[in-house]
């Protein structure tokens, strides 16, 4: 029964994580978002209007205003994972004579990750204001399809540079807008996109390193105990050879926190690794998340990405964001 409950918790965790990624990345036209919208419409017919209104106000405040709740959640999850790693995994692995550099690798990655987390959170992503809009208006050409020349933002009343978008959470237009990330409580734009990519890379590497070390320890425990060579008595009183399911159940009972953490970081490594690969693809093709998803709405051949400058040029642009060229001196 314990194994079944933990398995169900894993399934719920995976589904919630996927849902959070889809909802918080600003992709309003994705199928999970449309599914959630349909579900909300159905529930609104059976839920009292007062409850429904209060829930909507709460969700709007949670998802469409700037606050530090998800930053605190992000830091709390890191504390829990690293607490378990330091409390059990690190000590047990030292007893089994794992290499010290390998055991210290997650801490090194954590240090680098926290540095880029701060840079993502505190760096101005490229907010466009009336005072600085001239710096961005001529950085990119208007493609005439996704970005129209002469367009003015209805919310902040600035002339919209090509590749900019108004963020309703930050209440500002952002130069080379990618998305608003609740986990760093900031928009990802021209001036912090490079930091965000490294942040994702180190976060994926952290989860992968902890997963590999923890899995290696558990495999070593099973190997040294010769558990796979033994037998167990089932509910009917019959002796059966130890199989994989029995080993997993045994490890759950022996190291419950460690195995639960392992499942969590494996899921995290897969999701973050996939997201990093997607982000790297966008960088190499000189697209943003907003542009990529918006381009899906156009019919085939109706939209062409005019901003790609080749792989090397695209990498340089991320490292050194484009701004309007300075006027030529006479």
Q: Residues 179-190: pLDDT tens digits?
A: 999 899 999 999
Q: Per-residue pLDDT tens for 7-38?
A: 566 657 666 665 555 554 444 444 545 665 66
Residues ≥6 apart with Cβ < 8 Å to 196? 116, 120, 178, 181, 184, 188, 279
DSSP, collapsed to helix, strand or coil, labels residue 138 as coil
Distance CA 234, CA 193 (A): 55
Catalytic-labelled residue, pool 120, 167, 173, 181: 181
Region 285-297 average pLDDT: 90
What one-character DSSP code corresponds to residue 86? I
Region 319-325 average pLDDT: 83
**Is 181 labeled as catalytic in the residue annotation?**
yes
Mean pLDDT (the chain, rounded): 83
Count the alpha carbons within 13 Å of 323 in the hemisphere toward its beta carbon.
13
Q: Per-residue pLDDT tens for 226-245?
A: 766 776 666 666 667 777 77
Distance CA 79, CA 236 (A): 43
H-type helices in the chain, by residue range? Answer: 2-24, 31-44, 49-63, 69-84, 90-95, 100-122, 193-225, 244-254, 256-284, 289-295, 311-319
For residue 319, is pLDDT > 70?
Answer: yes
Identify the pLDDT of residue 326.
Answer: 55
Q: Using the CB atoms, write b or e for 156-195: b if 16+ within 10 Å.
A: bebbbbbbbbbbebbebbbbbbbbbbbbbbbbbbbbbbbb
Q: Per-residue pLDDT tens for 139-185?
A: 999 988 889 888 898 888 899 999 999 998 888 999 999 999 989 99
Q: Is 324 or 201 the better-scoring residue by pLDDT?
A: 201
Distance CA 109, CA 111 (A): 5
Q: How confident is the model at residue 1 (pLDDT cuts 50, 70, 90)?
A: very low
Say if residues 84 and 261 touch (Cβ distance below 8 Å).
yes
The Cα diameter of the chain in Å comes to 96
Residues ≥6 apart with Cβ < 8 Å to 82? 106, 107, 110
């Amino acid at each position: 029964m314990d194994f079944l409950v933990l398995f169900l918790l894993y399934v719920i965790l995976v589904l919630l994580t996927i849902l959070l990624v889809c909802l918080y990345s600003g992709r309003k036209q994705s199928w999970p978002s449309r599914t959630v919208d349909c579900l909300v419409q159905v529930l609104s017919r059976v839920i009292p209007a007062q409850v429904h209104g209060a829930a909507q106000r709460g969700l709007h405040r949670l998802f469409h205003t700037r606050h530090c709740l998800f930053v605190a959640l992000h830091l709390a999850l890191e504390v829990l994972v690293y607490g378990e790693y330091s409390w059990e995994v690190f000590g047990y692995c030292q007893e089994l004579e794992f290499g010290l550099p390998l055991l210290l690798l997650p801490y090194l990655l954590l240090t680098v990750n926290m540095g880029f987390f701060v840079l993502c959170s505190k760096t101005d992503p490229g907010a466009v204001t009336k005072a600085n809009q001239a710096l961005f208006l001529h950085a990119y050409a208007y493609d005439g399809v996704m970005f129209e020349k002469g367009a003015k933002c209805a919310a902040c009343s600035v002339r919209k540079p090509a590749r900019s978008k108004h963020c309703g959470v930050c209440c500002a237009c952002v130069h080379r807008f990618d998305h608003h990330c609740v986990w760093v409580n900031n928009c990802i734009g021209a001036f912090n996109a490079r930091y965000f990519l490294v942040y994702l890379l180190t976060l994926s590497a952290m989860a992968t390193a902890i997963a590999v070390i923890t899995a290696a320890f558990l495999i070593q425990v099973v190997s040294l105990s010769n558990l796979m060579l033994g037998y167990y008595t089932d509910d009917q009183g019959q002796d059966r050879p130890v199989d994989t399911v029995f080993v997993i159940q045994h490890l759950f009972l022996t190291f419950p926190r460690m195995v639960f953490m392992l499942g969590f970081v494996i899921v995290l490594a897969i999701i973050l690794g996939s997201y990093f690969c997607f982000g790297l693809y966008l960088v190499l093709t000189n697209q943003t998340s907003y542009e990529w998803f918006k381009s899906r709405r156009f019919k085939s051949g109706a939209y062409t990405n005019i901003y790609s400058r080749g792989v090397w040029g695209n990498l340089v642009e991320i490292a050194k964001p484009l701004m309007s060229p300075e006027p030529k001196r006479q």
